[in-house]
Amino acid sequence: MAISNGNIKLSIIIPYYETFNLTMCLLKGLSVQITDEVEVILIDDYCKGEFNEIKDELALNNIRLIEHKENLGTARTRNEGIKKAKGKYISFCDCDDTVTMDYIDTLLKAIEETPTEVINFNWLDLSENVVVCRPCNPAMWKAIYRNDICPLFREDLEWGEEDVDFQREVGKMETTYLDRVLYIYNSNREGSLYWRKTHREVK
């Protein structure tokens, strides 16, 4: 874990891999919400130069771009983000998902009013077009986590299993629940983990 910067309340970690147009939608949605209390850490895992033309624009919007020349995988990429995060709390976004327009403002208020170790919230699942509330789901993006106790992801597990292990660890922590939809899960995207599982491409 990184040492928290007192001015940064929330660090948003986004591992990126080959979903440029969807990721740009996510970044645009975040950029209009970002304040000086928020940083976004965009980690380009196996970069191909997609962000070269907008590097300066990203920096102006308090979005840090970290580029990997080789594909390290989701767990290692998230861990790098955790180690570099300066915020009091950490959140995660998948690069093919998006967030609501009050995502940052709502989370900053929750950090001030309910500073527990983990703060859970609801999301919209696009595959079913339903709001999901407090589910038994291993996704790490359904909550924010206090930086000083945020566990690292195990890098020796199969794809998707690292989320289950991560949630097992945070399940031991003090948790509160925010009854708001803040995240939009693009589970019906062809090629996503959900899509691959339903098409038996992930064993």
Instruction: Look up the CATH number of the domain holding residue 53.
Output: 3.90.550.10
Of 86, 87, 83, 45, nearest in space to 66 by CA = 45
Look at residue 157 and give its three-state secondary structure: coil
pLDDT given at position 1: 53
Query: Is residue 71 one of the residues assigned to a domain?
Result: yes
Asked whether the whole model's pTM tops 0.85, one would answer yes
Query: Is residue 112 one of the residues assigned to a domain?
Result: yes
How many other CB atoms are found less than 10 A from the CB of residue 171? 10
CA angle 47, 52, 54 (to 5 degrees): 125
What tokens were used for 102?
Answer: 């009050």
Query: Is residue 203 one of the residues assigned to a domain?
Result: no
Query: Is residue 191 one of the residues assigned to a domain?
Result: yes
What tokens were used for 125?
Answer: 């699942």
Query: Is residue 172 one of the residues assigned to a domain?
Result: yes
Mean pLDDT throughout 6-29?
94
State the average pLDDT for the chain: 89
pLDDT given at position 136: 82
Q: Using CA atoms, how far apart are residues 154 and 149, in angstroms rounded to an integer?
A: 15
Provide the number of structural domains found in the chain.
Answer: 1
Query: Is residue 1 one of the residues assigned to a domain?
Result: no
Q: Using CA atoms, how far apart are residues 35 and 38, in angstroms rounded to an integer?
A: 5
Query: Is residue 175 one of the residues assigned to a domain?
Result: yes
Which tens digit of pLDDT belongs to each residue from 103-148? 999 999 999 999 999 999 999 998 888 999 988 888 999 999 999 9
Query: Is residue 166 one of the residues assigned to a domain?
Result: yes
Domain that holds residue 22: 10-198
